[in-house]
Amino acid sequence: MKAADYIYLATTSLIEKRGRAIGAVIGVMIAVIALSMALGIGESFQREFVEQLQRTVAANSIIVVGGAAGLTDIDIMYFKGVAGVRDAFGIAMAQGTIFTADGEKTVQIVAVDPAVLPLYLGVGDMTKAVEEGESEPRGMGVLVSHDLWADPGTGRKLLDIGSTLTIRLRGRSLQLIAVGLLKQIGSSGGMGQATFAAPSIYMSPDTFFAYVSPSRSYSAALVLVEDLSRLEEVTADIRAVSPPGSRVISAAAIVQQFVSLVGALQLFVGLISAVGMGVTALWILDSTAISVIQRTKEIGILKALGYTGVDVLLLFVLEATVVSAIGVAAG
């Protein structure tokens, strides 16, 4: 029997039983649409997620977290001298207690060069981070995180520009002035450490070492790489010159970990959607089996006309293939 005969007989059979055929086509179409949407949405989410993450966590940066002794200006100079490093900045931190109308709060005092502060905060420039006031800390003027100047529960404003902040540090008090109020943003500066649960105050490095820390040591350093393609090589060199006990973390490695996680979630969603394809396949198999039972008379006539068992099998397989192809094309 010619291929055209198979197609003609299969098509004629589907037209005669078009109700069941249309139902099967719709089932295949729905399954294909669900799978395509799951994969498409997953891919779009992954791409957008990675782009946003790379904006928040500068992909061309390396974080060096100092050990118990911290990092010194000499360490920062060593980092700057590594081939492929564009620049390096120290990040100094200290904890204190602030007196507010709601009582005492633990605050994290962060001192970082104003030039790298946007990178630390995960924004392109400080205009995107500042809600009100100045964009740089100067002298005793500091920038205040959103969870310190606004009530987390009600959003009520607790501090204004020019408000005095009384900080207790190691048994002594320090008077600071709020010159900038920050928006509610995440900080990329805590890579490799736990995200700060305490509110943050951002201070100029000169003021920090004059009034907060008696020794000029840094909790961490932010190293910027010139060429992203050399990130692994530079990371290895930075690790080699870092003091004992330090941790060196590549921002790109963090991004890659999140990409792997999102990829696994995308695969999981795709597998769930693929179950729909499996159910539809079982439906087609069931419909074909029922069709065989209901068409015993037709099968007998075909065999009486000289058709073999293989010919009859090919007819049913071709019917299922046509239904699936139409459903996939429509989906």
Does 151 share its domain with 215?
yes
Distance CA 70, CA 144 (A): 25
Judgement on whether residues 95 and 216 belong to the same structural domain of the protein:
yes
From the list 173, 53, 188, 45, the residue with the least C-alpha distance to 116 is: 188
Number of domains in the chain: 2
- 277-314 tens-digit pLDDT: 666 666 666 666 666 665 666 667 666 766 676 766 67
Share of the chain above pLDDT 70, in %: 61
Q: Is residue 164 part of a domain?
A: yes
Q: Which residues contact 205 (CB under 8 A, 6 or more apart)?
A: 90, 92, 111, 112, 113
For the segment 120-139, the average pLDDT, to the nearest whole number, is 88
Retrieve residue 246's tokens.
């330090």
Residue 253 in any domain: the answer is: no
At 24, the amino acid letter reads: A
Q: What is the pLDDT of residue 158?
A: 86
115 with 240, same domain: the answer is yes
Q: Considering Cα of 128, then 110, then 165, then 209, what sign does the dihedral take?
A: negative
> Rounded to an integer, what distance in angstroms lies between the CA atom of residue 240 and that of residue 18?
73
The domain of 286 spans 3-51+259-330
Are 89 and 237 in the same domain?
yes
Rounded mean pLDDT of 34-40? 68
Q: Are residues 180 and 214 in the same domain?
A: yes
Please check whether residue 190 lies inside any domain of the structure: yes
Quick check: is 62 in a domain?
no
> Does residue 93 share a domain with residue 8?
no
Q: Please tell me whether residues 204 and 315 are part of one structural domain.
A: no
Type of residue numbered 252: A
CA 321, CA 330: separation in Å to the nearest integer? 14
Cβ of 94: how many Cβ atoms within 10 Å? 18
Is 293 found in the same domain as 218? no
65-100 tens-digit pLDDT? 988 888 999 999 999 999 999 899 999 999 999 987
CA 283 vs. chain centroid, Å, equals 38
Matching residue, tokens 């009384």 = 166
- Mention every residue, 6+ apart, whose C-beta is less than 8 A from residue 322: 10, 11, 14
Say whether pLDDT at 63 is over 60: yes
**Strands in the chain per DSSP E:** 61-65, 85-100, 103-112, 130-133, 141-144, 164-169, 172-182, 200-203, 220-225, 247-250
How confident is the model at residue 180, as a pLDDT?
94
What pLDDT is attached to residue 97? Answer: 92
Nearest to 209 by CA among 316, 324, 112: 112
* Euclidean distance between CA atoms 149 and 155, whole angstroms: 9
Residue 252 within a domain: no
**Dist. CA 225–CA 88, nearest whole Å:** 9
- Residue 97 in domain: yes
The residues near 25 (Cβ < 8 Å, ≥ 6 apart) are 323, 326, 327, 330
**pTM for the whole structure:** 0.59
Residues 111 and 224 in one domain: yes
Is residue 47 within 8 A of residue 105, CB to CB? The reply is no
- Residue 222 and residue 121 share a domain: yes
Output the pLDDT for position 196. Answer: 47
Q: Do 238 and 303 have their domain in common?
A: no
Domain identity same for 130 and 240:
yes
